[in-house]
Structure 1
Amino acid sequence: MHSTAQTVQTAQTTQTEDTAQLYLDLMKKVLANTIYEDPPIPATWAPAEQYDELNRRLGVDWPSVAHTMIGIRRLENVESCVKTVLADGVPGDFIETGVWRGGTCIFLRAILKAYGVTDRRVWVADSFQGMPRADATTHEGDRELATDQYNAFLATDLPTVRGNFERYGLLDEQVSFLPGWFKDTLPTAPIDRLSVLRLDSDLYESTWDTLVHLYPKLSPGGFVIVDDYHIPVCREAVHDWRDEFGVTDPIEDIDGLGAFWRRGA
Structure 2
Amino acid sequence: MGSMHSGGGRGAGYHKMVVSFADRFAARFGYRLVEARDYPYVDDMPPEFHAIDRRVSPFTQTSVQRRAALYESLQYVLREGIPGDFVECGVWRGGSAMLAAMAMRHAGHLNRKIYLYDTYAGMPEPGSRDVDLHGEPARAKWEEGGWNHADLDDVRRNLARTRYPQENLVFAPGMVEETIPGVAPDTISVLRLDTDFYASTLHELRHLYPRLSPGGVLLIDDYGHFRGAKAAVDEYFSGRPPYMHRVDYTARLIVKG
Please tell me the TM-score bracket, short chain as reference.
Answer: 0.7 to 0.9
Structure 2 equivalent of residue 69 of structure 1? 61
The amino acid of 2:129's aligned partner reads G
Report if aligned partners of 1:194, 1:222 keep a CA contact under 8 Å in 2: yes
Would you say the 8 A contact 2:130–2:227 is kept in 1?
no
> Does the 8 Å CA contact 1:95/1:194 hold for their aligned counterparts?
yes
Paired residue for 2:122? Answer: 130
**Structure 1 residue 23: deviation in Å?**
3.8
Q: 2:234 aligns with which of 231, 234, 239?
A: 239
Q: Secondary structure at 1:188's aligned position in 2?
A: coil
Distance apart, 1:148 and its partner CA: 2.5
The structural deviation recorded for 1:153 is 4.2
Does residue 179 (structure 1) correspond to residue 173 (structure 2)? The answer is yes
Aligned with 1:192 (options 179, 186, 190) = 186
Q: How far apart are the structure 1 equivalents of 2:163 and 2:47?
A: 17
More helix by share: 1
Give the 5 Å matches for 1:47-126.
66-126=58-118
Secondary structure of 1:187's aligned partner: coil
CA displacement, residues 195-232 of structure 1 (integer Å, 9 cap, x when unaligned) = 11100111001110110110111000001100111121
Shift of 1:22: 3.5
- For 1:186-225, what aligned pairs fall within 5 Å after superposition? 186-225=180-219
Give the C-alpha shift of residue 168 in structure 1. Answer: 3.6
Question: Does residue 165 of the first structure (1) align with residue 153 of the second (2)?
Answer: no
Aligned-residue offset at 1:151: 4.2
Q: Which residue number corresponds to residue 155 of structure 1? A: 149
For residues 5-84 of structure 1, the aligned pairs below 5 Å read 22-32=47-57, 66-84=58-76
Partners of 2:88 and 2:193 within 8 A in 1? yes
Structure 2 unaligned spans of 5+: 1-45, 132-136
Aligned in 2, Cα 1:191/1:81: closer, same or farther, shift over 3 Å? same
TM norm structure 2: 0.75
User: In structure 2, what is the Cα distance between the partners aligned to 1:168 and 1:87?
Assistant: 21
TM-score under structure 1 normalisation? 0.73
Give the C-alpha shift of residue 24 in structure 1. Answer: 3.2
Q: Which has the larger radius of gyration?
A: 2
Q: Helix, strand or coil for the counterpart of 1:78?
A: helix
C-alpha distance in 2, partners of 1:106/1:247?
A: 33
In 2, Cα distance between equivalents of 1:182 and 1:118:
26
The answer to whether the 8 Å contact 2:86/2:114 transfers is yes
| One-letter identity of the residue aligned with 2:99 | F
Contact 1:208 1:237 in 2 (8 A): yes
Q: Indicate conservation of the 8 Å contact 1:29/1:72, yes or no.
A: no
Distance 2:144 2:114 in 1: 27
Aligned-CA RMSD value = 1.7
Unaligned 5+ segments in structure 1 are 1-20, 33-65
CA deviations over 1:175-210 (Å, ceiling 9, x no partner): 111111000001211411001110011100111011
Count of residue pairs the alignment pairs up: 205
Deviation readout 1:85-121 (Å, 9 max, x if unpaired): 1111110001110010000001101111001112211
Q: Which amino acid aligns with 1:254?
A: V
Larger mean Cα displacement after TM superposition, 80-89 or 150-159: 150-159
